[in-house]
Homo-oligomer: A and B are copies of this chain.
Amino acid sequence: MSDDRYERGWQRLRELAGEQGERVIEGLRDIAPDLGRYVVEFGYGDVYSRPGLGDRERQLTAIAALTALGGAEPQLEYHIRIALNVGVTQSEIVETVIHCAPFVGFARTLNAARSAKRVFAAAGSRGTD
């Protein structure tokens, strides 16, 4: 009954996250497939398909939200990778993390910086660009 949303979400997820996105949904298949479906439908088919913000802004705000939340390193690193995919530079990602420091403090911010470092290293990158 919600096929359109699923299709649209799946397209959006692939467009943004590529194979790593498929792997997240795949990883939920044997434990909570419906949770994976909701991520696709609600997360990507509904919210990420809205026109009101651009991809860059969606990734910068996702990084800020996950930095502030804490304890969400896998999700943060996943969305840092999406940010790189949609053309956010490493500098802008780091800048977003630094911007969170006055709001949420150094503990959350240092963890986020380490997440960025791990993602950039795996991407064969230098850390600033």
Interfacial residues, chain A to chain B (CB-CB below 8 A): 1-2, 4-5, 24, 27-28, 30-32, 34-35, 38-39, 41-43, 46-47, 50, 52-53, 57-58, 60-72, 74-75, 91-92, 94-111, 113-114, 116-117, 120, 126-128
A57 CB contacts on chain B under 8 angstroms? 57, 60, 96
Copies of this chain per assembly = 6
Indicate if the CB atoms of A105 and B95 lie closer than 8 Å. Answer: no
Indicate if the CB atoms of A107 and B58 lie closer than 8 Å. Answer: no
Indicate if the CB atoms of B66 and A107 lie closer than 8 Å. Answer: yes
Indicate if the CB atoms of B105 and A101 lie closer than 8 Å. Answer: yes
In whole angstroms, how far apart are the Cα atoms of A109 and B61 in the complex? 14
In whole angstroms, how far apart are the Cα atoms of A74 and B105 in the complex? 14
A69 CB contacts on chain B under 8 angstroms? 68-70, 103-105, 107-108
